[in-house]
Amino acid sequence: MELAGDSRSNAMTVDVEDYFQVSAFESVITPQDWDAISPRVGQNTHRILDLFAEHGVKSTFFTLGWVAKRCPDIIKRIVEEGHELASHGLDHRRATTMSKNDLRDDISQSKDILEDIGGTRVIGYRAPSFSINSSNEWVYDVLKELDFIYSSSTYPIAHDLYGVPDWPRFKYARPEGIIEIPIPTIRKKDRNQGIGGGGYFRLYPYSLSKKRIDNYLASENEPYSFYFHPWEIDASQPKVKGAPLKSRIRHYINLSRMEGKLVRLLKDFKWDTMRDTYGIIQS
């Protein structure tokens, strides 16, 4: 039997950042250290683009301005191969750690870099580590000012590092004039559980992740969206020493199985960009 959801497209998204730029390692590696580390994000993103081409998948790449400057070839390839180029900010500072002026600078620089290299308009933004909550809703004013149309920056779950468990679970229009598309969740025992990707996808057997997505599509009249990072398919990345144990476990769990699981995911569902999956109309 075919489920009603099988023919709908879902959004595939990649947060384009390197392994040493993740919030989990910020206590041991600062942005001042980054230029001295040999980047792996370029080769990993090329590998992802190869996999997407092989399986006929279109995706949205939420990309750091920092990465775009150093690896312009991946930006050009993202655009040339029909994917959507979007912003993940400049250098992965969380929106909750910046003043409004600093954040405006950060996002506007990243947008300019991406648009210059890609030769295309950038309308989507994802805050690093889903860092929009009730303390900084003015981020949406900044996005509107900078001519963005949508954001996918909120995760309506309770989590130790981020999350807005009481916020909407599905795409909605913000009063500031921006469309917010939250990371998908399922309801369990009166709580939201995250099913958007990341560590859970690497932790669980693929069959369980697939079942959870199937359940979501069968019960919700909404597309599903998935996110992952280029470093997640890179099992031979150098190990970062000195980071907290919990961060290391979350970062390194099952990296070697990720590519195989990802390929199954690409084959089992229909994937497209955020823009086209959610019918974002460019004005």
161 Cβ contact partners less than 8 Å away, ≥ 6 residues apart: 23, 129
Residue type, 120: T
CB of 175 to Zn ion, least distance (A): 26
Q: Is 15 in the site for Zn ion (CB under 5 A)?
A: yes
- Residue whose pair of structure tokens reads 């963005």 in the numeric block: 148
The residue at minimum Cβ distance from Zn ion is 15
CB of 91 to Zn ion, least distance (A): 11
Q: Is 194 in the site for Zn ion (CB under 5 A)?
A: no
Q: Is 230 in the site for Zn ion (CB under 5 A)?
A: no
CB of 198 to Zn ion, least distance (A): 10
Q: Is 128 in the site for Zn ion (CB under 5 A)?
A: yes
Question: Among residues 162 and 217, whose Cβ is nearest to Zn ion?
Answer: 162
CB of 171 to Zn ion, least distance (A): 21
Are the C-beta atoms of residues 196 and 225 closer than 8 Å to each other?
yes
Question: Among residues 89 and 156, whose Cβ is nearest to Zn ion?
Answer: 89
Restricting to residues 25-84, name those near Zn ion by CB under 5 A: none
The radius of gyration of the chain from alpha carbons, rounded to an integer in Å, stands at 18
Question: Among residues 15 and 272, whose Cβ is nearest to Zn ion?
Answer: 15
Residues of 42-57 as b/e, b for ≥16 C-beta within 10 angstroms? bebbeebbebbeeeeb
Question: Among residues 131 and 185, whose Cβ is nearest to Zn ion?
Answer: 131
User: H/E element holding 152?
Assistant: none
Are the C-beta atoms of residues 57 and 12 closer than 8 Å to each other?
yes
Distance CA 61, CA 45 (A): 10
Terminal-residue alpha carbon distance, the chain: 40
Options 7-15, 160-168, 173-181, 220-228: segment touching Zn ion (CB under 5 A): 7-15
Give me the 81-120 binding string for Zn ion, x by CB under 5 A, dash otherwise.
----------------------------------------
Are the C-beta atoms of residues 185 and 200 closer than 8 Å to each other?
no
What value, to the nearest 5°, has the Cα angle with vertex 47 and ends 228 and 236?
75
Handedness of CA 123, 126, 131, 134 (dihedral sign): positive
CB of 190 to Zn ion, least distance (A): 29
Question: Among residues 128 and 184, whose Cβ is nearest to Zn ion?
Answer: 128
Distance CA 112, CA 135 (A): 27
Take residue 139 and report the two structure tokens written for it.
């981020």
Options 8-16, 193-201, 214-222, 238-246: segment touching Zn ion (CB under 5 A): 8-16
Question: Among residues 128 and 230, whose Cβ is nearest to Zn ion?
Answer: 128
Q: Is 5 in the site for Zn ion (CB under 5 A)?
A: no
Question: Among residues 15 and 232, whose Cβ is nearest to Zn ion?
Answer: 15
Options 45-53, 111-119, 127-135, 265-273: segment touching Zn ion (CB under 5 A): 127-135
Number of residues that bind Zn ion (CB under 5 A): 3
Residues in the chain: 283
Site residues, Zn ion (CB under 5 A): 15, 17, 128
